[in-house]
Structure 1
Amino acid sequence: MGHHYVPMATVQPSRIQYSQCVVLLVFLLQFSSLQLPSLGYDIQDKYFINCGSDTSVRESGKVYAGESALKTNFDSSYTASNQSAVSSPLYQTARIFGKESWYKFNTEPNGTYLVRLHFFPFPPPSNLSSATFNVSVPGFWLLQNFNATNATNNNSALVKEFYIQITSPGLRITFRPLPSSFAFVNAIELFLLPLHLIVDQVARFTYGISTPKLSTYNGLYSRVLETKHRLNVGGQTTNDSLLRKWIPDDTYLAYPENAHNSSPYNDIKYRAKVDSDGPNANLFTAPTDVYGTAKVTKNMSTNASDVEYKLSNITWSLPVEKNTDHFLRLHFCDFFSLQTDLTVFNLSIYDAHVMAVNEDGSVPSVLPTPYYYDFVVHSDDSGFMRVGVTPSASGYIHFAFLNGLEIMRVIESSTSVPPDPVDSNSKHKLLVVLGSVVGGLVLVVVVVALGFLWHLKLSKEKPFENSNWLPVLVTAGGSSHNRLTDLTSQGSPLPNINLGLRIPLIELQSATKNFHASQIIGKGSFGNVYKGVLRNGMIVAVKRSQPGSGDSGQGLLEFQTEIMVLSKIHHKHLVSLIGYCDERFEMILVYEYMEKGTLRDHLYNTTFPSLSGEQRIAICVGAAKGLHYLHKGAVGGIIHRDVKSTNILLDENHVAKVSDFGISRTGPLEHQSHVSTTVKGTLGYLDPEYLRRRKLTEKSDVYSFGIVLLEVLCARPVIDSSLPREQRNLAEWGLLCKNKGILEGIIDPSIKDQIDQNSLRKFSETVEKCLQEDGTDRPTMGDVLWDLEYALLLQRGVHGSSYSSVSTSLQLSNVRRLPSFSTPSEVDDSSKVLNPAA
């Protein structure tokens, strides 16, 4: 496979005069000093900025100059000094912005630049950890709803790094505080990178289809790349000549027992020129410390009949953003093999075969020469990217290795980024433009007048004391823009949205104190959840998506699905949708307020009081009722597809309600056994059969709910990489303990003495049935509900202490399983004898 797809240009000779040759030579020398790093590339010192200070400091061998030499717009800004002791002089000061502010840098056009932003949140009195803000460059959001609090956990700075292709002779970096907040930065780095360090055209790897494929991805230069991971595989922390930090890979290994670190190798042969375009690496691609160390598979068998090496694969699992393109670079340097016996092994991404490394003839002819492979990969819903190397069965050498790994998020351009203001030296150009569009201004005046009248009308409906609203983007079509209307106008198929549930944005601003930080009751990948009070006095939860989350279409689809599902169903154990808002590029959902938060909030790593054993079983019964209604009570049947403890909410009486239907699907029809669909869900809760076969059934929800039951019983995360390998996956560990008869050993100590042994036995049997590998062996949600109600009765001692006598009594005719409901109305709990959760 070719790594890059850049055509080579040819130059035809021509006759020129001697004097012309001299002029041309001088020009080429001047040009090469700016554009050809191969003739002596060095990092410029011009844009290493010590923000919040006019004093220069030295850090990591570089001088960070004071910011006074830059062109800036610092209205309503000030500086702060760090009162605590820190090792780096960079984090002694910070520039703090009370409103939109920017730095302006002079840059050479048509080059790739590296931008680093340093954030170190000072402790009080400055309290920079409370800042929430956006950062942008023209056309791109670098950071959105950014908060640097995670940097304070280890008393180190949070450094954000971006690769940006600049086509103009300047770059403006703008800091935009969110309402009622501020922005800050401690240091900025910006410098030109060597040619071809990142290229415009690479390979795209597509998985999740019957035959994974490689194709061409064009246009990396038209995107921004954000560094997420840079690993020195098999080595230690090191810095390279571009001041990039490479860290060890050990914490990301899925099966550490399969790998070992190679002995360091120092004689790395960089044979590629600095300005060459891969696959051969040059001294700026990665340092010797990276190419001279590696992770290597254990059990390097040379016996073709021995299959042990096939199991000795190495897999890295790295956290990434969900459903987003990522640039992946894999570094190799084969210092293990003889030239005639080059190691061939398999590369996989998301467990799908990509290619046989070293088999395509692109590896350098002289070893050990470093090389690399580039891919663009779209991440799945798990929040992790899995990369693996596996020994090949062919050839004489059976092992695999990797030297380095980089992952960068691909940031798409966004029309929601406000354009930069026009510089004063360009105002004369603006006058010319204005003169040519006088006729258009008339139309603009009309639109503004209509907008003013509309705003005046809304203001009369609801006056506000606080007029300092969030910046809301408005298109030429007017301020009533909404995504769902847009989708319909474009001719896309859209089911009937319940427009009667639409709530004006201005009312939600009032309800949440203009989305003030003090009203936040939850945060997630979707954005923030705010507590609000509507004009009628109803307390609600307002879930507001992050700006730009609907640009890809996936966020809009989940927004639409949530409205469609919840506007058609109603049940005591499903969270009710109060309304939604899709004005002005917003996607907001309004739910009934659940005072006690999520089930997960009450199980572990929490300040909430511990739930009793009886409360936990009753909560599980309530959640099972909601899921059973989804499967059998809603028209057509609905599969939730993301059952987990954070999607089970509790009201003031600890009544459980299932929430978050953004990725739910209508269940299979009567003549279908499953729904074929892309795998979506949460790592740790995913049905392995669904993950393997891409076939979704109601039993997929049953499996996920079984994980929740085990989580409730043990009060620990479903995936905990800090534990020994056999204990990391809660499902595997729980079933192993049950089979060994030691399940009581992993039960939450706070409830161990509370649980009736017969109830525990029934509860654990239910868990085991839910977690069967084959979906056909799992019970229906109705059966699960019946079993849980049974366990609750045992816990309450309704039928005495004899397990067998209770089992016999519950088989009598006066106890029956839940019926299936054919209408989307709420289940009437009085329709059955067993009613422990009523």
Structure 2
Amino acid sequence: MKSTFNRRNLYLHLYLLSNLLTLPPPSSAEAPPPLSLNCGSKDAGNDADNRKWESDNKYLVAADKSVSSTALTHEPSLTSDVPYMTARIFNGETSYKFNVNSTSRYIIRLHFYPSNYPNYNVSDSYSVVSTGAITLLKNFSAFITAEALSQAYLIKEYSLAAFNSDSITLTFKPAGKSFAFVNGIELITEPELFDDQAVLVGVAEDAGTIDGVSSNMQNMFRLNVGGQFIPPMNDSGGLMRSWYDDTPYMFGAGTITHVGNVTIEYNDLPAATAPVDVYRTARTQGPDPNVNKQSNVTWVFQVDANFTYLVRFHFCECQLEKANQRVFEILLNNQTAFATADVIAWTGGKGIPTRKDYVVYTGDKAGDEELWVTMHTNIDLNPEFYDILLNGLEIFKLSDSKSNLAGPNPVPSKLMQKQLIANRAPKNGSFADVFVGGAVGGAATIGVAALVLFVIRKRRRVPVPDSGGTSWLPVYGASSTSKSTISGRSHGGSSLSTDAVCNCRYFSLLEIKRATDGFDESNVIGVGGFGKVYRGVVDGDTKVAIKRSNPSSEQGVNEFVTEIEMLSKLRHRHLVSLIGFCEEGNEMVLVYDYMGKGTLREHLYKGNKITLSWKQRLDILIGASKGLHYLHTGAKYTIIHRDVKTTNILCDDNWVAKVSDFGLSKTGPNMNQNHVSTVVKGSFGYLDPEYFRRQQLTEKSDVYSFGVVLFEVLCARLALNPSLPKEQVSLADYALQSGRKGTLEEMVDPHLKGQITPEALKKFTDCAIRCLSDHGMERPSMGDVLWTLEYVRRMETNGDERTGNHTKSESSGSGMVEVPINRNDMIAMHLNTLNLDIDDEDDANGIFSQIVDPKGR
């Protein structure tokens, strides 16, 4: 223990000495304006925030080893086409040169979109990026990193000390025989936001401090604690930083959030330190002092081991006014950074922000890949309130003694590794043995993980150009894990169960080509994440929708297999019917019942030909909730859809709603568990925050997503709309905020004015808000939601405002016959809704068409 402590002290002393020897001269000259490059583009372009990004051509040095390229796929979760849809690809070492002020610090941001590009497979890309003697990235794979983090694109941000030169050279070099690429580069002059007295944590008091002014660092996390996401355009000081919600990093005891209604006075603190919105929102423990005394508030972060980290805390007291009213302890990795933190004592008053920097070193042992930030009320000083306070948090990785900031590529989680092994492991298990052996080897884990992902991606490298078109088939918002065919040849697919093959019709590739006129572009009716969707005709006159995989899409064999396995076993009026599939040669094709009215989403927003009435919207929601309720309770096993959204609710020619796209679906937990642990996937804006935080999936995750759908239908607003004011970007957050303020009526689609009775609106919105509860246990079941929607529909149809028990009645057009039930009797409710599904299955309208063929089903 003592030797470890001494080694750590020695390391930090050497680090401190190296920083002291490189202090820059004071700043004097005027800083150049911010620079944003749309790499690989010949022309300038504006992003979604109307920021201008210029071409990178004039900044290139020896451009003969680079080429411009355009991404083959468009991930729906991209915030903007600029700068992500074009790339600069480097086949050899190439540099950019920028003129700068020699005495200023600079922020460099690198944007990566790991899509495939013509003639380039992104899984082959490994990069080395440096500026001067500072290594920013080494053997960096944007593909592996994005897959491991389940992100569509990546942003790497660096804060670099003054260069003592009038230019900066940024160099990209392929690692080995691969290629490097970048989509966007930002260069922004940074005001002096760091000082030379960052306190060292966990070492002897005489160990000194770290000089932040002369340090080169990478921003790892930037959080608006207790508040919402703050986009770059709303950042302070023109630094274009993004401030993220801290909720995914929370660990342990519950907390509450506050929004302060005070004027923020920066005084001596530079306004660029953090925007006003960071200091107006905060997280505290809550009102119960007895609970607070016994609990901590903790955030946990995954970091690179064997580096030093500067942790910056942002504070602003917006509630209290006197010293010793709120005093707390700050710990980093269970080591005390400051024992008597008192914001009012630091600032002297309410509404005055401050920040405190502490530095901690992480070792190279197991467990050192985590950085724990903990706060606990100080009991010894007997403050007036036993509580903590935090407004914002930033974590910066400092360069080591070799001027290196590069860490290893992240290793996919154990769940993802298991999934990848299951997809490709040979029957004798040798592949899994190799994988496990590599994991034990530490650094070899990265190589093996890369190999797994590489093999999956390499199985299909045929580039297919992206095409336009209005998407009516579902589009995923998160990356999937593979792009390969199942077998590439066999008619059943080697990974499909016998039941799936028997329950689905197999189409030959020749039949598919005949049905679509050889995949003629005139038959394209949409483009989804899986690929293009064609209108087709089989068996002479039966219309079908044919979904053909795009070899370059972010979805592939996993979704293909899951869709077939799930839908081949499910038959319900309110689930889209899978008719059959084709898996031949290099093609993966799914054949569905044709849904003539397209998606619910395309009938909600401005500019669509059809504006749905309130009763039509209710009928569609009721149908969709029946389908989801059947998945949760009526099938042999609980099935969690995992991607409920308005693009995954389709309508046939008779406006009967059907839930579609089961590529991300999972079988629910068994009787001994209440959740399924799985890699987080879904669509941003609809994603259950509890599932995102804990990676524990339940059927209540579908309920949360359906709650967003309810508000989307009521308000005719996108689930995420970055063009709106920041408090309205997320529909779910805005709805909850409006619910607290009592202003939900102001959100209702103007087309529905006068169509909704006040009682029905209240019943509907109460249900929708319960669906959006932060904790799954507080959300209703889908059966509960279905009951409420049916009740609202009757209220609108009959003018019935009853809230008690109900007598037998026939719901308009639904075929439902109710039995008297008690609102709180969940068993009776369950029986009622199951009877509803049986009636639906026997409905004589013939809406759910089937293709009967002796070769198939």
- Taking a change above 3 Å as real, the CA distance of residues 718 and 89 of structure 1, as seen in their structure-2 partners, is closer
2:840 corresponds, among 829, 832, 837, to: 829
- Taking a change above 3 Å as real, the CA distance of residues 755 and 792 of structure 1, as seen in their structure-2 partners, is same
In structure 1, the residue matched to 2:522 is 518
- Taking a change above 3 Å as real, the CA distance of residues 221 and 746 of structure 1, as seen in their structure-2 partners, is farther
In structure 2, the residue matched to 1:254 is 244
In structure 2, the residue matched to 1:116 is 67
Letter in 2 for 1:117: S
Question: Cα distance, 1:727 vs. partner?
Answer: 2.3
Partner SS for 2:501: coil
In structure 2, the residue matched to 1:457 is none
Residue 702 of structure 2 is aligned to residue 701 of structure 1:
yes
* Alignment map for 1:178-327 (pairs within 5 Å): 199-200=138-139, 221=176, 223-232=178-187, 250=240, 252-254=242-244, 261=272, 298-299=314-315
In structure 1, the residue matched to 2:508 is 504
Letter in 1 for 2:658: K
Inter-partner Cα distance in structure 1 for 2:667 and 2:397: 48
* Alignment map for 1:47-446 (pairs within 5 Å): 115-117=66-68, 143-144=71-72, 159-164=86-91, 199-200=138-139, 221=176, 223-232=178-187, 250=240, 252-254=242-244, 261=272, 298-299=314-315, 343=359, 363=399, 371=405, 373=407, 375-376=409-410, 414=458, 416-417=460-461
Letter in 2 for 1:144: L
In structure 2, the residue matched to 1:242 is none
TM-score of the superposed pair, with normalisation by structure 1:
0.51
Question: Identity of paired residues, percent?
Answer: 36
1:527 corresponds, among 521, 527, 531, to: 531
Question: Cα distance, 1:223 vs. partner?
Answer: 4.8
In structure 2, the residue matched to 1:688 is 689
In structure 2, the residue matched to 1:620 is 621
Inter-partner Cα distance in structure 2 for 1:344 and 1:498: 60
Question: Cα distance, 1:647 vs. partner?
Answer: 0.5
Partner SS for 2:534: strand
Partner SS for 2:458: coil
8 Å Cα contact 1:643-1:701 kept in structure 2: yes
- Taking a change above 3 Å as real, the CA distance of residues 524 and 808 of structure 1, as seen in their structure-2 partners, is same
Question: Cα distance, 1:579 vs. partner?
Answer: 0.9
Inter-partner Cα distance in structure 2 for 1:721 and 1:417: 34
In structure 1, the residue matched to 2:426 is none
8 Å Cα contact 1:616-1:712 kept in structure 2: yes
Inter-partner Cα distance in structure 2 for 1:157 and 1:696: 31
Long gaps (5+) in structure 1? 1-49, 52-57, 61-86, 92-106, 120-142, 167-172, 177-190, 209-218, 237-245, 264-278, 281-293, 312-335, 382-407, 420-472
- Taking a change above 3 Å as real, the CA distance of residues 831 and 541 of structure 1, as seen in their structure-2 partners, is closer
Inter-partner Cα distance in structure 2 for 1:158 and 1:636: 41
TM-score of the superposed pair, with normalisation by structure 2:
0.50
- Taking a change above 3 Å as real, the CA distance of residues 731 and 567 of structure 1, as seen in their structure-2 partners, is same
- Taking a change above 3 Å as real, the CA distance of residues 501 and 59 of structure 1, as seen in their structure-2 partners, is closer
Letter in 2 for 1:547: P
In structure 2, the residue matched to 1:485 is 493
Question: Cα distance, 1:342 vs. partner?
Answer: 7.8
Inter-partner Cα distance in structure 2 for 1:742 and 1:310: 41
Inter-partner Cα distance in structure 1 for 2:638 and 2:361: 46
Question: Cα distance, 1:613 vs. partner?
Answer: 0.8
Question: Cα distance, 1:536 vs. partner?
Answer: 2.4
Question: Cα distance, 1:648 vs. partner?
Answer: 0.4
In structure 2, the residue matched to 1:100 is none
Letter in 2 for 1:673: N
CA displacement, residues 349-384 of structure 1 (integer Å, 9 cap, x when unaligned): xxx975599999973569xx8955564476999xxx
* Alignment map for 1:680-759 (pairs within 5 Å): 680-759=681-760
- Taking a change above 3 Å as real, the CA distance of residues 415 and 735 of structure 1, as seen in their structure-2 partners, is closer
Question: Cα distance, 1:159 vs. partner?
Answer: 3.4
* Alignment map for 1:794-805 (pairs within 5 Å): 794-796=795-797, 798=798, 800=799, 803-804=801-802
If asked which structure has higher relative contact order (CA below 8 Å, sep 6+), I would say 2
Question: Cα distance, 1:732 vs. partner?
Answer: 2.2
Question: Cα distance, 1:745 vs. partner?
Answer: 0.7
Question: Cα distance, 1:826 vs. partner?
Answer: 6.2
In structure 1, the residue matched to 2:444 is none
Residue 597 of structure 2 is aligned to residue 596 of structure 1:
yes
8 Å Cα contact 2:625-2:785 kept in structure 1: yes
In structure 1, the residue matched to 2:608 is 607
Inter-partner Cα distance in structure 2 for 1:353 and 1:174: 33
8 Å Cα contact 2:137-2:407 kept in structure 1: no
- Taking a change above 3 Å as real, the CA distance of residues 250 and 596 of structure 1, as seen in their structure-2 partners, is farther
In structure 2, the residue matched to 1:578 is 579
CA displacement, residues 111-142 of structure 1 (integer Å, 9 cap, x when unaligned): x99533267xxxxxxxxxxxxxxxxxxxxxxx
In structure 2, the residue matched to 1:425 is none
Partner SS for 1:588: strand
CA displacement, residues 751-792 of structure 1 (integer Å, 9 cap, x when unaligned): 122112222121112112222233222222112111101101
In structure 2, the residue matched to 1:536 is 540
- Taking a change above 3 Å as real, the CA distance of residues 343 and 658 of structure 1, as seen in their structure-2 partners, is same
8 Å Cα contact 2:312-2:355 kept in structure 1: no
Inter-partner Cα distance in structure 1 for 2:588 and 2:372: 44
Inter-partner Cα distance in structure 2 for 1:708 and 1:305: 41
8 Å Cα contact 1:344-1:359 kept in structure 2: no
Letter in 2 for 1:508: I
Inter-partner Cα distance in structure 2 for 1:345 and 1:371: 14
- Taking a change above 3 Å as real, the CA distance of residues 494 and 304 of structure 1, as seen in their structure-2 partners, is farther
Question: Cα distance, 1:683 vs. partner?
Answer: 1.6
- Taking a change above 3 Å as real, the CA distance of residues 59 and 634 of structure 1, as seen in their structure-2 partners, is closer
Partner SS for 1:591: strand
8 Å Cα contact 1:114-1:193 kept in structure 2: no
Partner SS for 2:620: helix
Inter-partner Cα distance in structure 2 for 1:770 and 1:574: 21
In structure 1, the residue matched to 2:789 is 788
Inter-partner Cα distance in structure 2 for 1:199 and 1:610: 53
Question: Cα distance, 1:630 vs. partner?
Answer: 1.2
Inter-partner Cα distance in structure 1 for 2:553 and 2:644: 22
- Taking a change above 3 Å as real, the CA distance of residues 669 and 221 of structure 1, as seen in their structure-2 partners, is same
Partner SS for 1:532: strand
Inter-partner Cα distance in structure 2 for 1:522 and 1:789: 32
Inter-partner Cα distance in structure 1 for 2:737 and 2:787: 25
- Taking a change above 3 Å as real, the CA distance of residues 380 and 593 of structure 1, as seen in their structure-2 partners, is farther
8 Å Cα contact 1:520-1:528 kept in structure 2: yes
8 Å Cα contact 1:501-1:578 kept in structure 2: yes
**Alpha carbon RMSD of aligned pairs, Å?**
6.0
In structure 2, the residue matched to 1:4 is none
Question: Cα distance, 1:593 vs. partner?
Answer: 1.2
- Taking a change above 3 Å as real, the CA distance of residues 556 and 152 of structure 1, as seen in their structure-2 partners, is closer
